[in-house]
């Protein structure tokens, strides 16, 4: 066969349509329209879920001692009407004394913090000084879940009168409120370089600034709250994964170290293990650092164990959020890789985590009263032992039967 003939045969074979090509479905206006309609239907289904989370409000029945409701927009008016505005419930005994701020929801994917604030609000009795409770410090972050983490948007607490539903939010502010993320995040005013997505992390934005980003304005408003209300002690509640070293711990500003040290020793000897760390001076943007540096308050951050947010857990379900029981974590626990004890049978249930926060806050106030009698605050709410014995639901009141003036949507 000549070279020319061979070339002709190859060209002919190449030019001929393959059987596979013949089978390809050619699209037309009808198939394109069907694809678009299906996509829009999927968008509607997903969109409803996202919309519901963006607009869902948690219900709380306040104790009768509520004297005032303030908002962050009272301190930074630019926040009014935005998802950065959030209520602060004030319980003033009318007796001169100190003042305490309790913050939940700085990281809204740590919901034992908000739930502990709600249980505090529902059962608090203040007989000296003032207590300020802010259940959702970063409200914007409660309006979505973490992108890429397939977990439920809420969980239920069983009560005698039915179920109370609470959100599981994100770690940071919603991109709908602050977007786009910069390539780098330079903390103000320290100029310390931090992870780019921490620009939306409230607990990396303190002390904030009035003309800063959305999250920095929220942080600034909280600082203004602390400064204007002369808050003597500010407590920021958090949860942490149990394979992270800073868990089951107080992290205290230098000025609050003595108080937190005494509270940790007291709790460890009587109720549950509680560690203590001093806030590192070079770690910028954190509440335990900046609240103390930029105001006269005694700043303490608290962490309880939350297995739900550990990296190695199995399915992230409502059950995991409520019980903290996970098979994979139990293997890590047996290998000694967790920073708090972990057993599959016990896990870290919600009532234990909420109870830890409530007792930890109570002990801080107790020792503040001892160290600074002029700042004395006398307040009571349910503690760890009661929570563990009766569960969270026992301390939540039925909004249907409560005085409507004490029922709030947060």
Partner 1 sequence: MTLVEAVIHYAYFVMAGIIGLFFLKGLFKREKHKGLAYDVVYAYCIIPFLLRILFIK
Q: Which is nearer to partner 1, 138 or 359 (CB)?
A: 138
Q: Which is nearer to partner 1, 9 or 176 (CB)?
A: 176
Letters for 201-220 (x = contact with partner 1 by CB under 8 A, - = none) are: ----------xxxx--x---
Q: Does 43 bind partner 1 (CB under 8 A)?
A: yes
Stated length of the chain: 410
Scanning 29-37, 271-279, 294-302, 367-375 for contacts with partner 1 by CB under 8 A, the matching segment is: 29-37
User: Distance (Å, rounded) from C-alpha 357 to C-alpha 348?
Assistant: 13
Please say whether the dihedral angle defined by the alpha carbons of residues 383, 256, 349 and 138, taken in this order, is positive or negative.
positive
- Largest Cα separation within the chain, whole Å, is 111
Q: Does 337 bind partner 1 (CB under 8 A)?
A: no
Scanning 34-42, 162-170, 339-347, 387-395 for contacts with partner 1 by CB under 8 A, the matching segment is: 34-42
- Name which position in 6, 8, 32, 370 contacts partner 1 (CB under 8 A): 32
- Name which position in 7, 8, 11, 42 contacts partner 1 (CB under 8 A): 42
Query: Which of 86, 99, 88 shows the shortest CA–CA distance to 126?
Result: 99
User: Distance (Å, rounded) from C-alpha 188 to C-alpha 210?
Assistant: 11
Residue 220 C-beta: closest distance to partner 1, Å: 11
Tell me the CA distances in angstroms from 167 to 38, 141, 333, 367, one per residue in order: 29, 10, 28, 33
Query: Which of 312, 355, 363, 354 shows the shortest CA–CA distance to 333?
Result: 312
Residue 23 C-beta: closest distance to partner 1, Å: 11
Residue 49 C-beta: closest distance to partner 1, Å: 9
8 Å CB contact between 76 and 210: yes
Q: Does 180 bind partner 1 (CB under 8 A)?
A: yes
Residue 50 C-beta: closest distance to partner 1, Å: 4
Q: How many CA atoms, within 13 angstroms, populate the side-chain half-sphere of residue 143? A: 20
Q: Do the strands 154-159 and 162-167 form a parallel or antiparallel pair, or are they unpaired?
A: antiparallel
* Footprint on residues 54-73 left by partner 1 (CB under 8 A): 54
Q: 346: which DSSP letter?
A: T
**Contacting positions for partner 1 (CB under 8 A):** 24-27, 29, 31-32, 35-36, 38-40, 42-43, 46-47, 50-51, 54, 78, 144, 176, 178-180, 211-214, 217
């Amino acid at each position: 066969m000549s070279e020319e003939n061979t070339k002709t045969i190859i060209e002919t074979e190449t030019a001929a349509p393959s059987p596979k090509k013949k089978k390809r479905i050619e699209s037309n206006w009808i198939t394109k329209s069907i694809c678009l309609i299906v996509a829009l239907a999927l968008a509607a289904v997903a969109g409803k879920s996202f919309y519901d989370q963006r607009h869902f409000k948690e219900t709380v029945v306040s104790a009768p001692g509520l004297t005032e409701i303030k908002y962050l927009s009272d301190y930074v008016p630019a926040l009014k009407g935005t998802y950065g505005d959030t209520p602060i419930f004030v319980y003033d005994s009318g007796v001169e004394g100190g003042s305490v701020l309790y913050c939940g929801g700085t990281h809204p994917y740590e919901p034992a913090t908000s739930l502990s604030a709600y249980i505090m609000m529902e059962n608090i009795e203040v007989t000296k000084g003032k207590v300020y409770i802010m259940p959702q410090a970063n409200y914007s972050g409660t309006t979505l879940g973490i992108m890429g983490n397939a977990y439920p948007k809420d969980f239920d607490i069983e009560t005698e009168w039915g179920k109370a539903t609470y959100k599981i939010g994100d770690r940071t502010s919603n991109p709908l409120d602050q977007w786009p993320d910069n390539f780098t995040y330079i903390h103000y005013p320290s100029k310390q370089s931090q992870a780019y997505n921490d620009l939306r992390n409230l607990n990396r934005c303190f002390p904030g600034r009035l003309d800063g980003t959305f999250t920095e304005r929220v942080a600034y408003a909280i600082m203004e709250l602390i400064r204007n209300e002369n808050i003597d002690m500010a407590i920021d509640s958090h949860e942490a994964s149990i394979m992270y070293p800073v868990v089951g711990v107080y992290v205290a500003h230098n000025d609050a170290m003595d108080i937190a040290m005494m509270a940790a020793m007291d709790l460890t000897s009587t109720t549950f293990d509680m560690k203590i760390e001093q806030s590192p001076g070079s770690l910028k943007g954190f509440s335990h650092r900046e609240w103390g540096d930029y105001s006269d308050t005694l700043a303490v951050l608290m962490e309880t164990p939350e297995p739900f947010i550990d990296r190695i857990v199995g399915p992230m379900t409502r059950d995991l959020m409520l019980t903290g029981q996970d098979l994979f974590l139990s293997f890590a626990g047996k290998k000694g890789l967790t920073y708090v004890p972990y057993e599959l049978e016990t896990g870290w249930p919600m009532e234990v985590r909420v109870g830890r926060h409530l007792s930890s806050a109570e002990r801080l106030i107790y020792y503040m009263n001892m160290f600074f009698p002029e700042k004395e605050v006398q307040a009571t709410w349910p503690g760890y032992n009661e929570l563990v014995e009766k569960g969270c639901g026992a301390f939540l009141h039925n909004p249907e039967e409560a005085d409507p003036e004490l029922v709030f949507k947060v």
